[in-house]
Structure 1
Amino acid sequence: MELRHLRYFEAVAREMSFSRAAERLHIAQPPLSRQIRQLEDELGAQLIDRQARPLQLTPAGRFFYEQVVQLLGRVKEAAEATRRIAEGERTWFGIGFVPSTLYGFLPDLIRRFRSGLQGVEVGLSELTTLQQAEALKAGRIDVGFGRLVLDDPALHGEVVLQEALVAALPSRHKLLGQARVSLARLADEPLVLYPARPRPSYADHVLEIFRTRSLSPKVAFEANEMQTAIGLVAAGAGVALVPESVQRLHRDDVSYRPLSDAGVSSPVIMNCRADDRSPLLARLRAQLRTQARAQERRRS
């Protein structure tokens, strides 16, 4: 699948006409039709109902169209930002993050970091901790916020937060009758684990928490995304251990309980290149310290 396939499909789906799309793309209609056929063959799905008058997208086509619009929009943004950086108009600063950090301090940190920052393109990338390590060393991002310790001399990591874990339970679950839930009780329930890959990951951290207490949880499902794991909990497929900030993801069909076991937490670790002395990284660190002090004052 190539970028032109996505652009061709977007044009046909927007125009609902091969002839108008071909005119818009400045190509002949037969090769356009062949390109769309190739795309459908590669996906193994019919995207356009050619028998309908006018043309219509199939259910698979409607879903794919929404994804393509987002992808092409992101490509356009990336191209424009790259041009501005190449022309010296802006500086690039990339931030990687695992999804669970978006429910805690990170959005406020990024908002304050960007406030008043002129001539800087701040890029945000959802990446696992291991993917962040690769992106840091390749120069694709400048800082990453993950939940695993990276044993790599090329990288520097510091724990910025120890976040308590809580149990995510389906509504009307029997354990909701307790103010606090023990890991021993959770080990008797089917466990929804995430992410399934790549490993090691937060999933291994959760399993280690149980193992250090001589508990063997019953893993029922492994999801790649935290939101998927929460959805499986809502469906009654099992329970999950999640950072407490995830409680901000309000759902009527999921409830949370703190743990009765002491010291069950997950670190949020800020990673960067060990030799990075950039002013922008220093600015982010300073903002992080300011935010941490303000949070301590609120607690006290």
Structure 2
Amino acid sequence: MELRHLRYFCVVAEELNLTRAAERLFIAQPPLTRQVKQLEEEIGAVLFNRKPRGLELTEAGQYFLDQARQILDKVDATVADTRRISQHGKTVFAIGFVPSIFYGQLPLMVRRLRRNKNLEIVLHELKTREQIDALKSGKIDLGFGRLRIDDPDVEQELLFNEPMIAALPASHPLAKKMPSMKELADIPLITFPSGPGPNFADITQGLFHRRGLRVNVIQQVNDVQTALSLVASDMGFTLVPEQVRRLGREGVEYVPLDDDSITSPVLASRRKGENPNAVMRLANTILHELVENRLTGRYP
């Protein structure tokens, strides 16, 4: 089995149509059909159900697709890191993060890591679920997110629970007080990010649902910056982690909630069972110092 067989399989699995897959791969359809058949014979499992209007992944095919993508991601990450090391003579350390983490300690951590002239720090904006896959494939070495995800190959460390605050139009009456969740539920809600969960939007709406409150989600956007722009336009409010307060925005007022127990976790994700190398030990030392500063009030 060669890497090209995995790449061919992934494209066919994405298209579920041999003609379209062959066009994407710039090869003729008959050779592609043979390659897929040979792959199934080599594995000893049927990967696709053949149907009159196309293909359908079998359960075995779906599992193989997930594993093949991880293998290819690992190969791509290894090649990219090797090129960087060759060009710069540096060790690459890659960090994944969700955007709402980037307004607190993470920039300070990156700044301190970059003082080591033998390190090249690479940042990837990834949802927490994507970080888990990126850790397993080797694309990143450390991830920062907000969602608990159970995976046998990854461990998650709770760094701290961060208070949630309301971002309201500066002219709104609730911007002059500490609003309750019940009061906020009467205002249109802007959530982020858009797309399938689990994500921060699910956390936000869950805070209301667990209190028996219904909310009117007027808009779902890709990032916190866009959400705050819509708040400034008086379209509604959004809930954000406390550190987003550092992102000043004209027309937006950041207001603490009347319930200070409403928080969002900040989690660090690492590959399980690995002995930390020198770079990871340095990153862990810096991280735990920054977290201690946060927890003892020496913010950031």
State the TM-score, normalizing by the size of structure 2. 0.69
Aligned to 1:145: 144
Aligned to 2:91: 91
Instruction: Kindly state the Cα deviation for residue 224 of structure 1 after the two structures are TM-superposed.
Output: 1.2
- 2:189–2:238 Cα contact (<8 Å) kept: yes
Give the Cα–Cα distance (whole angstroms) in 1 for the partners of residues 104 and 176 of structure 2: 27
- 2:160–2:295 Cα contact (<8 Å) kept: no
Within-5 A mapping of 1:1-300: 82-86=82-86, 89-115=89-115, 117-178=116-177, 180-279=178-277, 280-298=279-297
Give the Cα–Cα distance (whole angstroms) in 1 for the partners of residues 222 and 80 of structure 2: 31
Give the Cα–Cα distance (whole angstroms) in 1 for the partners of residues 145 and 245 of structure 2: 18
- 1:96–1:143 Cα contact (<8 Å) kept: yes
- 2:113–2:121 Cα contact (<8 Å) kept: no
Give the Cα–Cα distance (whole angstroms) in 2 for the partners of residues 293 and 251 of structure 1: 29
Instruction: Kindly state the Cα deviation for residue 293 of structure 1 after the two structures are TM-superposed.
Output: 2.7
Give the Cα–Cα distance (whole angstroms) in 2 for the partners of residues 272 and 106 of structure 1: 16
Deviation per CA, 1:219-265, whole angstroms, max 9, x where unpaired? 11101111111111111111100011111111121111100023101
Q: Which amino acid aligns with 1:269?
A: L
Aligned residues between the structures: 221
Aligned to 2:9: none
Instruction: Kindly state the Cα deviation for residue 88 of structure 1 after the two structures are TM-superposed.
Output: 8.4
- 2:84–2:92 Cα contact (<8 Å) kept: no
Are residues 169 and 85 of structure 1, via their aligned partners in 2, closer, same or farther at CA, if it must alter by over 3 Å? Answer: same
Aligned to 1:12: none
Deviation per CA, 1:76-98, whole angstroms, max 9, x where unpaired? xxx99642424782221100111
* Structure 1 spans left out of the alignment, 5+ residues: 1-78
- 2:230–2:236 Cα contact (<8 Å) kept: yes
Are residues 297 and 210 of structure 1, via their aligned partners in 2, closer, same or farther at CA, if it must alter by over 3 Å? Answer: closer
Instruction: Kindly state the Cα deviation for residue 100 of structure 1 after the two structures are TM-superposed.
Output: 1.1
Are residues 262 and 292 of structure 1, via their aligned partners in 2, closer, same or farther at CA, if it must alter by over 3 Å? Answer: closer
Give the Cα–Cα distance (whole angstroms) in 1 for the partners of residues 80 and 191 of structure 2: 39
Structure 1 runs, 4 residues or longer, greater than 3 Å off: 79-82, 294-300
Instruction: Kindly state the Cα deviation for residue 294 of structure 1 after the two structures are TM-superposed.
Output: 3.2
Q: Which amino acid aligns with 2:162?
A: E
Q: Which amino acid aligns with 1:100?
A: S
Q: Which amino acid aligns with 2:94?
A: G
- 2:231–2:237 Cα contact (<8 Å) kept: yes
* Structure 2 spans left out of the alignment, 5+ residues: 1-78
Give the Cα–Cα distance (whole angstroms) in 2 for the partners of residues 129 and 205 of structure 1: 13
Instruction: Kindly state the Cα deviation for residue 135 of structure 1 after the two structures are TM-superposed.
Output: 1.0
Give the Cα–Cα distance (whole angstroms) in 1 for the partners of residues 255 and 175 of structure 2: 7
Give the Cα–Cα distance (whole angstroms) in 2 for the partners of residues 285 and 121 of structure 1: 17
Give the Cα–Cα distance (whole angstroms) in 1 for the partners of residues 194 and 84 of structure 2: 38
* Identical amino acids, percent of aligned pairs: 40
Deviation per CA, 1:102-141, whole angstroms, max 9, x where unpaired? 11111111212222x2322210111111111111111111
The 3-state SS of whatever aligns with 2:102 is helix
- 1:192–1:219 Cα contact (<8 Å) kept: yes
Aligned to 2:35: none
The 3-state SS of whatever aligns with 2:134 is helix
Give the Cα–Cα distance (whole angstroms) in 2 for the partners of residues 161 and 85 of structure 1: 34
Q: Which amino acid aligns with 1:284?
A: A
- 1:81–1:121 Cα contact (<8 Å) kept: no
Instruction: Kindly state the Cα deviation for residue 289 of structure 1 after the two structures are TM-superposed.
Output: 1.6
- 1:167–1:241 Cα contact (<8 Å) kept: yes
Q: Which amino acid aligns with 1:236?
A: D
- 2:163–2:241 Cα contact (<8 Å) kept: yes
Give the Cα–Cα distance (whole angstroms) in 2 for the partners of residues 242 and 220 of structure 1: 16
Are residues 80 and 217 of structure 1, via their aligned partners in 2, closer, same or farther at CA, if it must alter by over 3 Å? Answer: closer
State the TM-score, normalizing by the size of structure 1. 0.69
Q: Which amino acid aligns with 2:125?
A: E
Instruction: Kindly state the Cα deviation for residue 296 of structure 1 after the two structures are TM-superposed.
Output: 4.1
